[in-house]
Amino acid sequence: MQIRAVSTAPFTDQKPGTSGLRKRVQVFRRPHYLENFVQSIFDTIAAPLGAVLALGGDGRYYNREAIQVILKMAAANGFGRVLVGRGGILSTPAASCVIRKYQAYGGIILSASHNPGGPDGDFGIKYNTANGGPAPEKITEAIFSASKTIAQYRIADAPDVALDALGDSKLGDMTVSVIDPVGDYAGLMESLFDFAAIRALLSGGFRLKFDAMHAVTGPYAREIFVNRLGAPSDSVINAEPLPDFGGGHPDPNLTYAHELVEALYGNDAPDFGAASDGDGDRNMILGRHFFVTPSDSLAILAANAHRVPGYKQGLAGIARSMPTSAAADRVAAALDIPCYETPTGWKFFGNLMDAGKVTLCGEESFGTGSNHIREKDGLWAVLFWLNILAARRQSVAAMTRRCEASGAGMAASHPLTQTAGFAITSDLASVADSPSRMASSSIGNVSRDVEDIVREHWAHFGRNVYSRHDYESIPNEAANGVMKLLHGRFGELQGAHLGNYKVLFCDDFSYTDPVDGSVSTGQGVRIGFTDGSRIVFRLSGTGTEGATLRIYLESYEPDVAKHRLDAQQALAELIRISLEISELRERTGRERPTVIT
Catalytic center residues: 113
* Centroid of chain to Cα 171: 35
Is residue 507 within 8 Å of residue 490, measured between CB atoms?
yes
CA angle 304, 98, 360 (to 5 degrees): 20
Q: How many other CB atoms are there within 10 angstroms of residue 145's CB atom?
A: 12
Neighbours of 566 (CB within 10 A): 10
Of 270, 272, 190, nearest in space to 224 by CA: 190
Q: Quick one: residue 230, left, alpha or beta (phi over 0 = left, psi -120 to 50 = alpha)?
A: left
Closest CA relative to residue 81, chosen from 62, 102, 101, 95: 102
251 contacts 277 by C-beta, under 8 angstroms: yes
Catalogue the long-range contacts made by 290-293 (C-beta closer than 8 Å, 24 or more residues apart). Answer: 290/264, 290/450, 290/451, 290/454, 291/254, 292/450, 292/454, 293/325, 293/364, 293/466, 293/467, 293/567, 293/597
Q: What element of type H or E holds 327?
A: helix 327-335
Enter the DSSP assignment of 305.
Answer: G
Longest dimension (CA), the chain: 82
- Residue 423 gets which letter from DSSP? T
Among 568, 385, 392, residue whose Cα is nearest residue 466: 568
Going by C-alpha positions, the residue among 264, 197, 267, 187 that lies closest to residue 230 is: 197
Cα–Cα distances (Å) from 491 to 335, 496, 499, in that order, read 38, 9, 18
Under 8 Å between Cβ of 10 and 150: yes
User: Could you write out the DSSP letters of every residue in 170-224?
Assistant: EETTEEEEEE-TTHHHHHHHHHHS-HHHHHHHHHTT--EEEE-TTSTHHHHHIII
- Edge-to-edge strands of the sheet including 272-276? 236-237, 208-211, 272-276, 283-287, 290-292
Closest CA to 283 of 267, 266, 263, 301: 301
| Measured distance CA(322)–CA(555) in Å, rounded | 15
Phi-psi region of 262 (alpha: psi -120 to 50; beta: other; left: phi over 0): alpha
